[in-house]
Amino acid sequence: MTWAKKPIIYQINTRVWLTELSQRFQRPITLRNLPDQVFDELADDQFDAVWLMGVWTRSTATRNSALNYLHEYRPVLPDLTEQDVIGSAYAIGAYEVDPFAGGRDGLAITRAKLAQRGIQLILDYVPNHVSTDHYWLRTHPEYFVSGSLSLIRKYGGMFFQTTDRYGRKYAAAHGRDPYFPSWIDTAQLNVFHPGCRQAIIDTLLDIASQCDGVRCDMAMLMMNHVFNRTWGHFIQESVPERDFWEEIIPAIRAQHPDFLFIAEAYWGLEYPLQQQGFNFTYDKTLYDRLFLDEPEKLLAHLRGGLAYQEQTIRFIENHDESRAAAAFGTAKSRVGALLILTLPGAVLLHDGQFVGRKVKLPVQINRQPDEPRDEALLAYYRELLREAKNPLYQQGQWQLLSTLDEQIIAYMWSYDGDYRLIVANLSAKPVEDTISLHRWSGELVDVFDARQRCPLGTDGTVKIRLGGHQTGIFRLESAPVAEYPRG
């Protein structure tokens, strides 16, 4: 299948999802035996792809580490037991589908059934680290940031003791983001080592044979300048001539030309990662500007180059962020939902987002608490999803419009005689503004309620009145006199 220009991707916490489905259908459910009804429900929402987060094998060490933090999980799941703790999805013991989830064959069955419904499959790839008992630590210590045991004495929790295949003890670094403490359930890969890079390529080629794309965790940590700044003084290898992703991505696409790469990325390194081959990079900036109520900065962000924006992936919720209904409140989260689904760029939606779940789950557990469902929010999302599948959002021309009130964001799409004006009030207070559509004429009709109509003035302007956090999508019922110029 060919990827959509603006794919809508649905993230599922796989083990939690399978637990919920097992309760729903009153029998053990894995990726081997998912009912057709489940696939049909995903197809009904017209997702382009499903990201099954956390299918890979969690190791014994990963789970044992997580068991030390039961006190952190109980506020989320008050009736938590040790059986609910499975270890972090991002301290991977092996890139083999966990037998508890259904194994490699189960994933293949699920992928085939998704494909029958036009849905592609995305999985995780964690380039920075593996679990502290990954077999490479025994067979290939050189793949890691490692050295003598004196490193543990000198740097404390940055390193841990492990052994190679001959029983020799050595110190290996825990994975880390340079701005935060080490992740103690992980071992840091040395991506300047050529053997490690080749092993990563081999791993990704195997992953690419099982899915249609990967979401790469903390992708910017692997860029040469970032890795060198973090680990250069601990390793012998010099900075490679080619940046990490410039070597890895072409090697995978040589055998899988349409394979999709998504980068979790921050620190202003999104555009460089796009240049290094990523199809889409996280747009945390849009999330932050919306969350922090910074309309001027949000508009400035959307004035960036269109080519860049089309390679961003927009979200207001994922497993790393607080639930949108909790972080933004229901009304404001509706504004965010409208923006991510109708702006240029890919869309990332999260299981539970549609029904207003508020509890952010740790990635170390396999069960979630019961929460009330917001049926009105669910209906709103489904309206938006139906509208977002209009070809105009895939193939059309997008233009950000000028507004006098900075709390109003307005933009338009046009394609093959179809036109949309999209407006949103970023504030909780009512706003009013006049928006110029240049030499357009006719009448704007609300796509969700045809009774709501706004006539255009003879000068091509329309007066917009919006309540607090109110949004609108309007269709033009007659063609414009002149096309709006592409910006």
Q: Are 183 and 176 in contact (CB under 8 A)?
A: yes
Largest interatomic CA distance in the chain: 84
Work out the angle at residue 312's Cα, subtended by the Cα atoms of residues 309 and 318, and round it to the nearest 5 degrees: 145
The strand pairing partners of 123, in sequence order, are 214
Examine the pLDDT at 297 and tell me if it is beyond 50.
yes
- The pLDDT mean for the chain works out to 95
Examine the pLDDT at 411 and tell me if it is beyond 80.
yes
Delimit the CATH 3.20.20.80 region(s) of the chain.
8-132+180-395
Q: According to the model, what pLDDT value does residue 424 have? A: 96
What tokens appear for 106 in the block?
């189960």
Tell me the per-residue pLDDT of 21-31, one tens digit each, with 9 for 90 and over: 999 999 999 99
Q: Are 345 and 313 in contact (CB under 8 A)?
A: yes
Question: Half-sphere exposure of residue 336, counting CA atoms within 13 Å on the CB side?
Answer: 31
Count of beta carbons in the 10 Å neighbourhood of residue 309: 19
- Of 23-32, 84-93, 441-450, the poorest mean pLDDT is in 441-450
Q: According to the model, what pLDDT value does residue 441 have? A: 78
- Of 25-29, 187-191, 367-371, 451-455, the poorest mean pLDDT is in 451-455
Tell me the per-residue pLDDT of 141-181, one tens digit each, with 9 for 90 and over: 999 999 999 999 999 899 999 999 999 999 999 999 999 99
Examine the pLDDT at 480 and tell me if it is beyond 80.
no
- Tell me the C-alpha distance between 234 and 247, whole Å: 23
The fold of the 397-476 domain, in CATH, is Immunoglobulin-like (2.60.40)
Examine the pLDDT at 112 and tell me if it is beyond 70.
yes
Q: According to the model, what pLDDT value does residue 465 have? A: 92
Question: Half-sphere exposure of residue 153, counting CA atoms within 13 Å on the CB side?
Answer: 4
Tell me the per-residue pLDDT of 388-408, one tens digit each, with 9 for 90 and over: 999 999 999 999 999 988 899
Work out the angle at residue 307's Cα, subtended by the Cα atoms of residues 390 and 393, and round it to the nearest 5 degrees: 5
CA 318, 368, 52, 354 torsion-angle sign? negative
Q: According to the model, what pLDDT value does residue 486 have? A: 45
Q: According to the model, what pLDDT value does residue 481 have? A: 52
What tokens appear for 159 in the block?
């390193």
Tell me the per-residue pLDDT of 325-358, one tens digit each, with 9 for 90 and over: 999 999 999 999 999 999 999 999 999 999 999 9
DSSP 161-225: EEE-TT--EEEEEPB--TTS--BTTEEEB-TTSHHHHHHHHHHHHHHHTT-SEEEETTGGGGSHH
Q: What is the mean pLDDT of residues 414-433?
A: 94
Q: According to the model, what pLDDT value does residue 456 have? A: 86
Q: According to the model, what pLDDT value does residue 433 have? A: 92
Examine the pLDDT at 277 and tell me if it is beyond 70.
yes
The fold of the 8-132+180-395 domain, in CATH, is TIM Barrel (3.20.20)
Q: What is the mean pLDDT of residues 461-484?
A: 81
Q: According to the model, what pLDDT value does residue 100 have? A: 94
- Tell me the C-alpha distance between 366 and 258, whole Å: 32
The DSSP output letter for 140 is -
Work out the angle at residue 345's Cα, subtended by the Cα atoms of residues 201 and 417, and round it to the nearest 5 degrees: 135
**Radius of gyration (C-alpha) of the chain in whole angstroms:** 24
- Tell me the C-alpha distance between 51 and 45, whole Å: 15
Tell me the per-residue pLDDT of 196-219, one tens digit each, with 9 for 90 and over: 999 999 999 999 999 999 999 999
Count of beta carbons in the 10 Å neighbourhood of residue 296: 10
- Of 276-290, 303-317, 467-481, the poorest mean pLDDT is in 467-481
Segment 34-40 long-range contacts (CB within 8 Å, at least 24 positions apart): 34/109, 34/110, 34/113, 36/113, 39/113, 39/114, 39/116, 39/117, 39/119, 40/117
Examine the pLDDT at 484 and tell me if it is beyond 50.
no
pTM for the whole structure: 0.96
Delimit the CATH 2.60.40.1180 region(s) of the chain.
397-476
SS3 state at 346: strand
- Tell me the C-alpha distance between 445 and 280, whole Å: 33
Q: What is the mean pLDDT of residues 70-75?
A: 96
Q: What torsion, rounded to 10 degrees, do the Cα atoms 140, 143, 149, 155 define? A: -160
Q: Are 409 and 298 in contact (CB under 8 A)?
A: yes
Percentage of residues in the chain having pLDDT higher than 90: 91
Q: According to the model, what pLDDT value does residue 452 have? A: 85
Q: According to the model, what pLDDT value does residue 450 have? A: 84
> From the DSSP assignment, how many helices (H) and strands (E) are in the chain?
18, 23
Closest CA to 292 of 426, 424, 432: 426
